Chain A
Amino acid sequence: MNVYFLKEHDFNSFMSKMIESKKVIGPVAKKSKFVFDKLESPEQLRLDYDVTILPPKKEFFPTCQKLVCFDGNKFEGCINPQEKILFGVHFYDVKAIDMTDHLFSEKNQDWNYLANRKATTIVASNIQKVSGRAFFASVGKEVGPKGHDAFITKINGGYVFEAITDKGEAIVKFGKFEKASDSQKSEAQSANESMLGKCPEKLKYSSSEIADKVRKNFTNEKLWEEAAHDCFSCGSCNVVCPTCYCFDVQDDWNLDQKTGTRSRYWDACLTEDFSKVSLGGGHAENFRESRGDRFRHRIMRKATYLNEKLGGPACVGCGRCSSACTADIADPVNVINKIMEAK
C-alpha cells in the first residue's frame, strides 16, 4: 500500500473532517493521565501520550457488555457493532489487540468481540513519550505488531501515514495527503526505532528462556508466597492489562422486574473469588486459594501458558500493571528477572 505525508498545519483539518464523518476514538488527557475516548475536536487528541489507563481493547470488549436482553422467557442477542476509527494506538497495544483477536477467534468465535473489532479501523501511531514503567522493547521480540490498518508517525514538519489495508487507505480522503518521500519514510522509521532504546525497564532474557525457567518454578511455593506478600488481590494488574480478557457473567432485572440483561464484566484472576466454586450449604472450594497461587497464575499466564498459541508471551511491555499496583509488586520485569537470576 501507499505511504503518505501530511503537513503539520494540515493535521487538524484532517482530524476535523474525520471526526465529522466517523466516530473517532483517540488518546485524550484525564488529569495527569491519558485515556482512549471519543474525540469531539482535534485539539483533544494527545498523540504525545505515554500510555493510557486502560488499553484500547475496551472498544471491542467493553468493561461491561450486554450479551443477551430478555423479557420474561423471550430473548435476543445484543451484538450491535458500530463503525469507528481507533486512532493513535501504540505498537505494543496493536500487538495486544492482535492477541485478543486470536483468543476471541480460536475454537469458538466470539462475535460479541469480533463484530466490534471488525467494525473498527485501527490507526497506530509512534510513541512520542515513553511511560515510566515501559519495557516493550525487551519483551516478546519475536512477535511484531500486526492487524492495524495504518500507522502514523510524527516527524519534523508533519506526519508520515502508512496505509496498510483498504480500511487504512480509506482514511486518506479526509486530509491533504501527498506521497511521502524516501527521506520522510526513513525519518519515520528511525523515529520508531529510536523509541525502543528509551524504555526505562528491560527483561534480560529471551521469551523461551523465561518461559522455561518460570514454568520450572511453578512448585517453588516460597517464591510465589514472597512475591505476593504485599498483594491486595485487588485485580488492578489484570484490569489494566491489554492481554487480559477474563470476564464474569451476571444477570440483572430492570426495574419493571420482567425485562433485563445478561452482561459480562471484566474480571480478574487475582481476586479471591475468581476460582471459587460453591458447593452448597455455605461451603466452597477455591482452586487458587492463596494470594501466592493467584499471583503465580497471572505470571504463568503472561510468561508461559499462552506462548504456544500466541507465538510469544502474553505480555507486551506496556508497564500498565507496574504503575497500577499500589504495592508495586506486579511489575513483570522485577518478578521475572528475579526468577531468572535465582539459581
Chain B
Amino acid sequence: MSKPKVGFFDFSSCEGCQIELTNYGDTAFLELLNHIDIVEFREAMTETAGDLDIACVEGSFTREADRARLESIRKRSKIVIAYGACAATAGVNALKNHQADYKENVYGKDAHMPHLDSSKALPISAAIKVDYSVYGCPMDKYEFLRIVTHLLHGKEPVIPNYPVCMECKRRETVCRYEDGDHCMGQVARAGCNAPCPADGIPCEACRGFVDQPNEVALVKVLKERAGFSEKRAQEKSRIFTAALRSDSK
C-alpha cells in the first residue's frame, strides 16, 4: 500500500505549528516519515502536489479572498485537519474581532495599506468542512503524531473533552491557585499534558474550551481567588478563546 500523501498549508498564522513539527529533536518525526509522504510543506520544501490524503491547514480564515484557496484544498483532500489553534478555533487572531483600533495599534502609520485589510478572524471551519482539529498554540507535536497514527489506521482520533486540571492533578503539579496565581485550566481542553502549570505558568486555554466551559464560575474564581478586577476577570479568557466564548463576535 502506498503511503498516505500529506500536505501543509498556511493562512493567517505565524506558521509556528509547522515549525513545531520539525522540532521533535528525536527520531519520532523521522519514524513518522516511514509511514507518510509529506508532499507539500512550505516550511521545508518547494514542491506542490495534486490529490492529498491529509491536508493540515494552519491559520485562521480572515479574508473572503482566502475562501477559494481553502475550498480547493478541501476538494483535493480526503481528510482536512485544522492544524493548531488559529485554524481550529481562530486562536489569538480572534482577539481583533473585539477591537476596532487594532490596526492602528499594530501597524501604526502603515495601518491603511490595502494588503492589511481583513475581516473577522474565524476558524477555517467557517469556510470549509473540517474533519479533525489539532488544538494548541503551538499544537502539541506528540498529540499530532497520535492523531496521524490513528488516521493511518482509519480510527477517529481521541481528543479529550475534559479540562487541563485533570492532567495537572495526574502529574501532581502544584495548582497555580495554591501558589497565589491564577489559571484557566478548569475550562481549557486537555490533551497537552499540562506543561505550562508544571513550569509555573498559568494555563491560558490555548487549546480552547472544553465543550461546556463554566464561564460564570471562571470569572468568579478569577476574582475571588486570584484577586482579579471584574473587567480583567471578564476578559481574561478571551486571549485564545475569543471565538468560543458566549460573547464571541
Interface residues of A (CB under 8 A from B): 30-33, 35, 53-54, 63-64, 229-236, 239-240, 250, 252-253, 255-257, 265-266, 268, 271-273, 291, 323-324, 326-328
B16-70 contacts to A, CB under 8 A, are 28, 31-32, 35
Contact B217 A257 (CB under 8 A): no
Q: Is the CB of B163 within 8 A of A234?
A: yes
Do B217 and A271 touch across chains, with their CB atoms under 8 A apart? no
Residues of A within 8 Å of B183, CB to CB, are 326
Q: Which residues of A contact B169 (CB under 8 A)?
A: 53-54, 235-236, 239-240, 324
A35: chain B residues at CB < 8 Å are 172
Query: Within the assembled complex, what's the spacing in Å between the Cα atoms of A283 and B109?
Result: 52
Please state if A32 and B170 are interface contacts (CB–CB under 8 Å).
no
Does B175 lie within 8 Å of A234, measured CB to CB? no
Min distance, Cβ B27 to any Cβ of chain A, angstroms: 8
Chain B residues 89-139 with CB under 8 Å of chain A are none
Contact between A326 and B221 (Cβ–Cβ < 8 Å)? yes
Residue B220 CB within 8 A of the other chain: yes
Q: Which residues of B contact A231 (CB under 8 A)?
A: 214, 217
Given A232-B186, A232-B214, A240-B169: A323 and B149 within 8 A (CB)? no
Which residues of A have CB within 8 Å of B163? 232-235, 271
With contacts A253-B149, A255-B31, A272-B210 taken as known, whether A239 is within 8 angstroms of B166 at the C-beta atoms is yes
- Give me the interface of B with A, judged by CB distance under 8 Å: 28, 31-32, 35, 145-146, 149-150, 152-153, 158, 161-163, 165-166, 169-175, 177-179, 183, 185-187, 210-214, 216-218, 220-221, 225
Query: Are B166 and A230 neighbours in the complex by a CB distance under 8 Å?
Result: no
Q: What number of A-B contacts does a CB cutoff of 8 Å give?
A: 108
Asked whether, in the complex, the Cβ of B170 is within 8 Å of the Cβ of A234, the reply is no
Partner of A255, one of B28, B172, B216: B28
Collect the chain B residues with CB atoms within 8 Å of residue A240's CB.
169
- CB within 8 Å for A273 and B175 given contacts A231-B217, A255-B145: no
CA distance A54 to B173 in the complex (A): 10
In the complex, the answer to whether A31 meets B179 with C-beta atoms within 8 Å is yes
> Are the CB atoms of A234 and B220 closer together than 8 Å?
no
Chain B residues with Cβ under 8 A from A239's Cβ?
A: 165-166, 169-170
Q: How far is the CB of A138 from chain B (nearest CB, A)?
A: 24
Q: Of B32, B172, B186, B212, which is in contact with the most chain A CB atoms at under 10 Å from its CB?
A: B172
- CB–CB B153/A271 < 8 A: no
Q: Which of B31, B211, B217 contacts A272 (CB 8 A)?
A: B211
Q: Is the CB of B174 within 8 A of A271?
A: no
In the complex, the chain B residue whose C-beta lies closest to that of A253 is B149
CB distance from B172 to the nearest CB of A (A): 4
Sorted nearest first, the 10 A-B pairs with minimum C-beta distance are: A232-B186, A234-B165, A239-B169, A230-B217, A63-B170, A255-B31, A271-B162, A53-B172, A31-B174, A234-B163
- If A230-B217, A250-B158 touch, does A236 touch B174 (CB 8 Å cutoff)? no
A271 CB contacts on chain B under 8 angstroms: 161-163, 166
Q: B166 contacts A234, CB within 8 Å?
A: yes
A273 in contact with B145 given A255-B32, A326-B221, A326-B225 (CB within 8 Å)? no
A33 touches B214 (CB 8 A): no
- CA–CA, A229 and B220, complex, Å: 11
- Alpha-carbon gap, A257 to B153, bound state (A): 8
CB–CB B178/A235 < 8 A? no
Chain B residues with CB under 8 Å of A291's CB are 214
Chain B residues near A253 (CB-CB < 8 A): 149-150, 153
In the bound assembly, the distance between CA atoms of A323 and B177 in angstroms comes to 10
Task: Chain B residues near A327: list those with CB within 8 A.
Answer: 186, 217, 220-221
Residue of B nearest to A273 (CB): B161
B174 contacts A53, CB within 8 Å? Answer: yes
A226 to chain B, nearest CB (A): 13
CB nearest neighbor in B for A254: B149
A232 touches B152 (CB 8 A): no
Write the chain A residue with the least CB distance to B29.
A255
* Distance (whole angstroms) from the CB of A60 to the closest CB of chain B: 16
B177 touches A257 (CB 8 A): no
Contacting A234 at CB < 8 Å: which of B31, B152, B162, B179? B162
